[in-house]
C-alpha cells in the first residue's frame, strides 16, 4: 500500500509512504517530498516477534501532525497489529496489538470460494487540538458459536451458519490503546461481508467504510457494495446503505474464477465527498472497475447544535435523526455545519468512464 501525506499542517507534507510484505515480514519505507525526494536506502522491517506467519494485508496512513501508522494482520498467531512513527517514517515505536482474529489470511465463502476472500486491514487516523484518533477495520469469521476457526468456514456451503463480517476498533490516544473489536453490521441472515475499506475525511474527521455484502441474495453468491458512516469518531454508525445499483456474481460461467473479486476495494474521503471503487461484472462480461460519488456531509438538525440532541430528538415529524444527518422520505433538509441547507445524501454510481443513475437516500 502507498500513501502520501496531504496535510498542510504536517511537518512531513508531501512525503510518500509504502508498506508491503516480502516473504513473511512486513516492511515500510518513505520518500521525502519534492522532485528530488529520496527513499530510505534500506526499508524498515516493521513486523517482528509479535507476528508469526506472514504479515500480509498491511496498510499505512498519516495524520495532520505527521504521525504515521502501519497496520497489518498475521496469518498464524492471528492478531491485528499497529506501529507508529512520529519522525516521518524514519523510526517506529514498538508494536501494539489491536485485536485478535478467528481466522487468518483468507476465508472461503459461497460468493468467493475459489480465490477466497482476503483478510486485510484498512486503517485511518485523525488529529486535531482535541482529538488523536486512530481506526482499523478488517474482515473475519463472525465469532458466533460454530464460527470461530478456519475449520468452520462455509466454503461453498450456502446453508452454513458460519458467516464473514466486518470488524472495527478505535484508539483515542494515538494508537497506544484500543477498544474492543465490534461488528459494524451483524445481520441475522446467512450473508457474508468482505473486501472492506475504511477512509477518514481529512477535513472533518468523519469515518466511512464500504464492503461487499451478499445480503440481497438468498443464494449467498451475488453481492452489492454497501456503505456506512460515523460522525462521532466511531462510537455509532449509520445504517448500511447500498451503493451499487446491480449485483455482481463471480461464481457463474464466464467469471474469472481464478481471481473472482480480486483482493482489495478502496475508498477516499474529503469534505463530505467519498469515492469508493470496486470490481463489478454486472453486465455478465468481463470484470470492470466501478466508482461512485457519495455526498454525505455532517448536518445539524434545525434548532439543535449538539450531538446529544441530534441523536435523541427527531429532525422532523416522522423522520428520526441518524448519525449526524436526517433520514426518511419527503422534503427533509437539515442545516449543515457550513451553514448551507443539505438533505439526505446522494449517491451517483458509474463505471469509471460512464456516469450512471442518481440515487437519493
What pLDDT does 359 receive?
32
Over 80: is that where the pLDDT of 329 sits? no
What pLDDT sits at residue 255? Answer: 80
- Tens digits of residue pLDDT in 191-225: 999 999 999 999 999 999 999 999 999 999 999 99
The answer on 73 and 25 residing in a single domain is yes
pLDDT at residue 282, rounded to an integer: 85
pLDDT-derived band at 84, boundaries 50, 70, 90: very high
Least confident of 85-99, 229-243, 252-266: 252-266
Clarify whether residues 203 and 275 are in a common domain. Answer: yes
Residues 221-243, mean pLDDT to the nearest whole number: 96
* Model pLDDT, residue 11: 98
Whether 48 and 91 share a structural domain: yes
Number of structural domains the chain divides into: 2
- Mean pLDDT (the chain) is 86
Digit-coded pLDDT (tens) for 105-148? 999 999 999 889 999 999 999 999 999 999 999 999 999 999 99
pTM: 0.86
Q: If pLDDT is split at 50, 70 and 90, which confidence band does 287 have? A: confident
CB atoms within 10 A of CB 324: 25
| 231 and 329 assigned to the same domain | no
Closest C-alpha to 226, from 191, 255, 258: 191
Of 303, 307, 254, 248, the C-alpha closest to 278 is 248
- 285 vs 43 pLDDT, higher one: 43
CATH number of the domain at 176, please: 2.120.10
Judgement on whether residues 103 and 57 belong to the same structural domain of the protein? yes
Instruction: Please give the pLDDT value at position 259.
Output: 84
Nearest alpha-carbon partner for 262 in 149, 58, 106, 157: 106
Q: C-alpha angle with apex 322: 318 to 325, nearest 5 degrees?
A: 95
Cell (9 digits) for 92: 517506529
Q: Say yes or no: 322 and 246 in one domain.
A: no
Query: Please, which pLDDT band fits residue 299 given cuts at 50, 70 and 90?
Result: low
170 and 106 co-located in one domain: yes
Res. 187: pLDDT tops 90: yes
pLDDT greater than 70 at residue 356? no
Q: Among the listed ranges 157-166, 239-248, 275-284, which one has the minimum average pLDDT value?
A: 275-284
- Paired with 129 in beta bridges are none
Same domain flag for 76 and 199: yes
pLDDT tier at 317, thresholds 50, 70, 90: very low
Q: What percent of the chain has pLDDT over 70?
A: 83
Do 266 and 123 have their domain in common? yes
CA angle at residue 120 from 108 to 286, to 5 degrees? Answer: 65
Q: Are residues 203 and 101 in the same domain?
A: yes
- In this structure, the answer to whether residues 153 and 9 fall within a common structural domain is yes
- What residues make up the domain containing 325? 299-344
pLDDT higher than threshold 60 for residue 309: no
**Do 338 and 206 share a structural domain?**
no
Contact yes or no for 264/197 (Cβ under 8 A): yes
Amino acid at each position: 500500500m502507498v500513501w502520501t501525506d496531504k496535510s498542510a499542517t504536517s511537518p512531513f507534507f508531501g512525503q510518500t509512504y509504502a508498506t508491503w510484505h516480502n516473504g513473511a515480514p512486513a516492511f515500510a519505507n518513505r520518500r521525502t517530498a519534492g522532485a528530488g525526494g529520496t527513499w530510505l536506502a534500506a526499508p524498515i522491517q516493521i513486523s517482528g516477534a509479535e507476528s508469526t506467519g506472514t504479515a500480509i494485508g498491511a496498510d499505512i496512513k498519516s495524520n495532520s501532525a505527521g504521525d504515521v501508522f502501519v497496520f497489518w494482520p498475521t496469518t498464524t498467531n492471528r492478531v491485528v497489529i499497529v506501529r507508529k512513527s512520529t519522525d516521518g517514517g524514519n523510526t517506529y515505536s514498538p508494536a501494539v496489538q489491536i485485536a485478535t482474529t478467528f481466522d487468518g489470511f483468507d476465508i472461503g465463502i459461497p460468493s468467493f470460494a475459489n480465490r477466497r476472500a482476503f483478510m486485510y486491514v484498512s486503517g485511518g487516523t485523525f488529529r486535531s487540538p482535541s482529538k488523536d484518533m486512530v481506526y482499523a477495520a478488517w474482515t473475519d469469521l463472525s465469532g458466533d458459536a460454530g464460527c470461530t476457526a478456519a475449520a468452520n468456514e462455509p466454503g461453498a456451503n450456502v446453508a452454513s451458519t458460519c458467516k464473514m463480517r466486518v470488524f472495527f476498533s478505535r484508539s483515542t490516544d494515538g494508537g497506544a490503546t484500543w477498544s474492543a473489536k465490534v461488528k459494524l453490521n451483524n445481520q441475522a441472515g446467512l450473508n457474508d461481508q468482505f473486501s472492506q475499506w475504511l477512509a477518514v475525511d481529512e477535513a472533518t474527521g468523519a469515518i466511512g467504510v464500504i464492503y461487499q455484502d451478499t445480503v440481497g441474495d438468498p443464494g449467498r453468491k451475488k453481492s452489492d457494495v454497501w456503505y456506512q458512516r460515523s460522525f462521532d469518531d466511531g462510537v455509532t454508525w449509520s445504517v448500511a446503505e447500498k451503493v451499487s445499483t446491480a449485483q455482481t456474481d463471480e461464481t457463474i460461467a464466464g467469471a474469472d474464477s481464478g481471481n473472482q473479486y480480486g483482493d482489495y476495494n478502496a475508498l477516499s474521503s474529503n469534505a463530505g465527498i467519498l469515492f469508493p471503487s470496486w470490481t463489478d461484472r454486472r453486465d455478465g462480461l468481463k470484470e470492470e472497475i466501478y466508482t461512485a460519488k457519495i455526498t454525505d456531509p455532517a448536518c445539524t438538525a434545525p434548532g439543535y447544535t449538539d450531538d446529544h440532541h441530534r441523536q435523541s430528538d427527531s429532525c422532523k415529524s416522522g423522520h428520526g435523526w441518524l448519525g449526524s444527518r436526517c433520514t426518511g422520505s419527503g422534503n427533509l433538509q437539515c442545516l449543515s455545519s457550513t451553514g448551507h441547507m443539505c438533505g439526505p445524501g446522494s449517491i451517483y454510481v458509474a463505471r469509471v468512464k460512464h456516469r450512471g443513475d442518481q440515487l437519493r437516500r
